[in-house]
Structure formats: structure tokens, C-alpha cells
Amino acid sequence: MEIIRDSTYEAWRASLRIITEQGKETIDADNRVLKEIINLVIRINNPAQDITKPVEVMKDLKKWEYPELDELEDVFFKKETSFVYHYTYGARIFNYADTKNQVDDFIIPVLKRQPRSRKALIVLYNPVIDSKIGVKETPSLISILFKITDGKLLVTTMIRSNDMFIGWPANIYQVYLLQRYVAQSLGLELGSLTTIAHSAHVFSEYNSEVEYVLKRK
């Protein structure tokens, strides 16, 4: 299933509506009831238009201590590994396995040298660490692909398991920041931003909050 919108906020609302109306109800490994759509593609043609609005709406609900925008940026771009969390995205992007800055040492150089390249890919899943039966905390965001088309930088990210209500607003904002960083480094305009979620889901415990988001403008 594919959702295409110009607006980040409207893409989010469309995904919530489709999942709640058409998703299959199931119970996950943690015994939480949810509705799920497999392989949901969301393409935002103009992410900069209102990229922060989903996060702002989540904060307006005042039910959770949802992260501030600068906190989301700091966590995503921080190169150091954390002693608190099993993994952090920033460490895996900018210091993968304590050896590789995937953005500055590969993505930007390869696209400068080969603007038509199809191999400008960041990988966040590390099978040496993550592919262990006893490990519960593994990255949901698996990979980020950068592609130059018609002078614009397009980004597609693969998400293994995507809580579309709580998680997607933060995920899309963070990936957008990375898209903007790479685009500025290359002197390019921003193109579309796409997420592909193998499991796009909404937990039933958030039904009233989701209904509120769908009713507001």
C-alpha cells in the first residue's frame, strides 16, 4: 500500500486513518493489541513544508514527555555510543562499529564523485550485535538510501517495525534533518522523503489520541 502526499502532516494523518480503518488486528510478542499493515510506503513530496508538525501535535497532547526538536536532533547526530541504550542511531550512522562515518566518509564523497550512483546507502542494523535471540532492543530504522534525481536529493528509509503514532513523527523529522545535511553538503535541493515500513502499526491503547489527531486540522 502506498500513500503519497505533499505534506508531512497529511501523510501522517493518512497513514493513521488507513491503519485504523484497514489494518489487521493482532497481538504482538509483548502481548499488546494493535492494528497493522504490512509494507506501507509513505512518500512526502515536500517534507520541509511542515516537517515539525507531527512532533508538535504529539507534544500538544501532553500525555507523554515527547522529545523536543533539538533533543531529537542531538540524539540522531551524536557520534558517541550510549551506556544507557543498547544502541543509538547517531552512533551507527556516524561511527558504525566504532570505525565508519557512513555519511561524511562515504555518502557525501560518493555522490560528489558519482552523482548517478545507486549505492549511497547507510545501514544501521548490525547482525553481529543484533542477530541474537536474546536481544530485544534492535534498530527499527534499518537503512537510509540517498539518490540524486533531477538535481534533487531523494531519500528512502526502510523501517522494520514502525509505531506510526508514537514513533513515526520523530523518525521522519530525524531522517529529514539528515537529508537536509547531505543536500546542503552537496549543494542540492531537497527531493521527496519516503519511508517503507514492514510493520506499520498503531496500538489500541492509543485509539482515543489517534482519533483526536484525525479530527483536528
What would the pLDDT profile of 78-90 be if each residue is shown by its tens digit?
887 654 444 579 9
The pLDDT tens digits of the residues spanning 146-161 come to: 999 999 999 999 999 9
Domain span at residue 25 reads 2-206
In a domain, 214, yes or no: no
pLDDT digits (tens, 9 = 90+) for 99-147: 999 999 999 999 999 999 999 999 999 999 889 888 888 889 999 999 9
Instruction: Give the pLDDT band of residue 97 (cuts 50, 70, 90).
Output: confident
What pLDDT digit, counting tens, does each position of 194-205 carry?
A: 999 999 999 999
Angle at which helices 168-186 and 8-22 cross, to 10°:
140
Q: In Å, what is the CA distance from 26 to each residue of 29, 37, 78, 109?
A: 10, 10, 36, 44
| Of 212, 213, 203, 207, residue with least CA distance to 27 | 203
Report if residue 215 sits inside a domain: no
CB atoms within 10 A of CB 213: 19
213, part of any domain: no
Give the Cα-Cα-Cα angle 96, 141, 52 (nearest 5 degrees).
110
How many angstroms separate the CA atoms of 165 and 32, rounded?
15
Total count of domains within the chain:
1
Say if residue 172's pLDDT is above 90.
yes
- Residue length of the chain: 217
State the maximum Cα–Cα separation within the chain, in Å, rounded to a whole number.
Answer: 50
**Position 137 in a domain:** yes
Tell me the per-residue pLDDT of 42-96, one tens digit each, with 9 for 90 and over.
Answer: 999 999 999 999 999 999 997 778 899 999 998 899 887 654 444 579 999 999 9
Average pLDDT over residues 14-24: 97
Task: Give a yes or no: residue 216 inside a domain.
Answer: no
CATH number of the domain that residue 186 is part of: 3.30.572.10
Q: What pLDDT, on the 0 to 100 scale, is given for residue 80?
A: 72
Cα 117 to the center of its chain, rounded Å: 22
74: in domain:
yes
pLDDT at 119: 97
| CB within 8 Å of 211: residues ≥ 6 apart | none
**Which H, E and C letters describe the chain, residue by residue?**
CEEEECCHHHHHHHHHHHHHHHCEEEECCCCCEEEEEEEEEEEECCHHHCCCHHHHHHHHHCCCCCCCHHHHHHHHHCCCCCCCCCCCHHHHHHCECCCECCHHHHHHHHHHHCCCCCCCEEECCCHHHHCCCCCCCCCCEEEEEEEEECCEEEEEEEEEEEECCCCHHHHHHHHHHHHHHHHHHHCCEEEEEEEEEEEEEEEHHHHHHHHHHHHCC
Instruction: Tell me the whole-structure pTM to 2 decimals.
Output: 0.93
